């Protein structure tokens, strides 16, 4: 009997997903755990994995189309099976050991799995303390996954008890809290009597839809209410002012549900242009960036040296090739050309990709160059794998793809890990020199400044030349000033050879 594959539910607030790409075709054999599709949810991208060994019998869902969670999008089974005689696929909620049965009135809350590749999450904030009464659907915690954040909703009402401390990182499926007074298993054990569908309800805090009218929406009489990070994001997307709503969340904060109900009732006004002072809780991404920057500066001896380089040849190379590259569908940029050059220099100077590991110096053998990309609400650094082995066109294409994935929220975990050196560019803002901060796990980062024209004296006269500022931050525990300077000089030589 064939098996139905449904649109999965990856996040607490996920109601629908888009099939960005099918990675398989009908009739193709797959193995359990193989990625068969890429599912897009707002700014995230997740891999849909095959639930069993078999053959893809039919792809019902269409690439680019959006489907409600639970909608059939494909069938898997054995060759020749009838797709009409199918059973729904069971969703694995955990990779943990056997489920523990307890005689208890307490409701167990486990670390949810928000993404296909998620193995663990961090409890960045508990919104309730021991014994606090919570209602079904209350936001009880903020769960962080690297630079992403999700709200964890209460599945029921009752006295709440967190079982792990804020900041704890817990494997998916492990116990993190309970609601109720009954005894539970030790923290870290998987305790669940829920079926896969019931577990989805626990994770999402599913509630019945309630219709509201404008008269039923409460507002504050003075001051402004504070919005949760996700509520603020929703208000910005809708272009409404929700600061006068009376919130139902923790400490009377306005939640996404408050905004949805008020907006459905037509009780929200359009956001005006009046400037409001920033007074909000940091998002998980902002906290992750802040913690990473602080850790980087605390644990390394960072020094920055700068060099003005003659980039006449770089500019000439770019202008001579950009039209031909464009005809091939490739967007050439100064940054992509410099990535190629830096890749060659890194191959010659392994010290620039050497880090301290315990009491050892460890050379990172792969030359994976990270590119800092500015996105809404933060900064991400995807990297180009094996940049030293790729042609200019390949690097330019991959750079454009990574930048687009970053800005549309489609970066995968593999895009962000394994970097050995980073480049960051502020030249488009007219910046000449700056002090980049090292990415954790790397020993050097190169900052690119603006290209500018300068008059240079030569043979009793003057001529115009183009210069670009290169700011190299390096960990002085690993890289002394002389090898760092030689590395910059080698980059200048490679530019001159273009």
| pLDDT, mean of residues 74-85 | 80
Q: Choose the most confident range, by mean pLDDT, from 31-40, 69-78, 110-119, 289-298.
A: 289-298
The average pLDDT across 26-48 equals 79
Residue 288 is inside which H or E element, if any? Answer: helix 284-299
What is the pTM for the complete model shown?
A: 0.51
Over 90: is that where the pLDDT of 473 sits?
yes
End-to-end CA distance of the chain: 62
Q: What average pLDDT does this structure show over 401-410?
A: 87
> Do 107-204 and 286-496 share a fold?
no
Mean pLDDT across 323-327 = 90
Give the model confidence (pLDDT) of 118-157 as tens digits: 778 888 888 888 888 888 878 888 887 765 667 788 888 8
pLDDT of residue 422: 97
Q: Select from 368, 397, 366, 370 the least CA-distant residue to 381.
A: 370
The CATH code that applies to domain 107-204 is 2.40.50.100
Q: Which two tokens stand for residue 184?
A: 């539970």
Task: Report whether CATH 3.40.50.2300 matches the domain 286-496.
Answer: no
Asked whether the beta carbons of 451 and 466 are under 8 A apart, the reply is yes
| Residue 102 confidence (pLDDT) above 50 | no
CATH number for 2-88 (one of 3.30.70.980, 2.40.50.100, 3.30.450.20, 3.30.420.480): it is 2.40.50.100
Q: Cα(75)–Cα(48) distance, rounded to whole angstroms?
A: 13
Domain boundaries along the sequence of the chain: 2-88, 107-204, 214-270, 286-496
Kindly report the CA angle at 128 between 124 and 132, in degrees rounded to 5? 160
Q: Give the three-class secondary structure for 321.
A: helix
């Amino acid at each position: 009997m064939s098996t139905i594959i449904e649109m999965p539910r990856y996040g607490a607030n996920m109601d629908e997903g888009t099939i960005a790409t099918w990675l398989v075709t009908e009739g193709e054999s797959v193995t359990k755990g193989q990625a068969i599709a890429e599912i897009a949810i707002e700014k995230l991208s997740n891999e849909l994995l095959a639930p069993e060994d078999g053959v893809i019998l039919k792809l019902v869902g269409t690439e680019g189309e959006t489907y409600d969670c639970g909608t059939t999008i494909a069938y898997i089974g054995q060759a020749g099976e009838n797709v009409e005689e199918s059973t729904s696929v069971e969703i694995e909620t955990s990779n943990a050991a056997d489920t523990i049965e307890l005689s208890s009135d307490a409701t167990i809350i486990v670390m949810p799995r928000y993404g296909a590749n998620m193995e663990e999450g961090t409890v960045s904030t508990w919104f309730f303390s021991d014994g606090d009464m919570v209602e079904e659907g209350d936001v009880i915690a903020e769960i962080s996954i690297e630079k992403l954040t999700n709200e964890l909703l209460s599945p029921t009402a009752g006295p709440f008890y967190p079982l792990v401390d804020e900041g704890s990182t817990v494997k998916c499926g492990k116990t993190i809290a309970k609601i109720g007074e009954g005894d539970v298993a030790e923290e870290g054990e998987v305790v669940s009597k829920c079926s896969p569908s019931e577990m989805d309800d626990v994770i999402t805090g599913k509630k019945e839809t309630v219709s509201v009218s404008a008269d039923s929406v409460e507002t504050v009489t003075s001051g402004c209410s504070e919005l949760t990070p996700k509520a603020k994001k929703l208000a910005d997307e809708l272009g409404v002012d929700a600061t006068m709503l009376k919130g139902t969340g923790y400490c009377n904060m306005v939640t996404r549900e408050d905004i949805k109900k008020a907006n459905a009732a037509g009780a929200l006004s359009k956001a005006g242009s009046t400037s409001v002072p920033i007074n909000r809780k940091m998002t998980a991404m902002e906290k992750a960036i802040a913690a990473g920057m602080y850790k980087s500066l605390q644990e390394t001896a960072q020094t920055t040296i700068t060099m003005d380089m003659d980039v006449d040849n770089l500019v000439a190379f770019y202008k001579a090739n950009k039209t031909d590259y464009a005809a091939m569908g490739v967007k050439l940029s100064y940054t992509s050309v410099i990535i190629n050059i830096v890749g060659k220099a890194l191959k010659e100077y392994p010290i620039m990709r050497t880090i301290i590991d315990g009491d050892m110096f460890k050379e990172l053998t792969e030359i994976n160059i990270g590119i800092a990309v500015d996105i809404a609400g933060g900064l991400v650094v995807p990297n180009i794998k094996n940049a030293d082995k790729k042609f200019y066109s390949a690097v330019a294409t991959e750079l454009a793809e990574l930048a687009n994935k970053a800005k549309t929220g489609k970066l995968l975990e593999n895009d962000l890990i394994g970097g050995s050196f980073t480049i960051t560019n502020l030249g488009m803002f007219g910046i000449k020199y700056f002090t980049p901060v090292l990415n954790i796990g790397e020993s050097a980062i190169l900052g690119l400044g603006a290209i500018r024209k300068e008059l240079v004296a030569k043979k009793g006269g003057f001529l115009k030349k183009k210069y670009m500022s290169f700011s190299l931050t390096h960990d002085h525990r690993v890289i002394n000033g002389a090898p760092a300077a030689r590395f910059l000089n080698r980059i200048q030589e490679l530019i001159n050879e273009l």
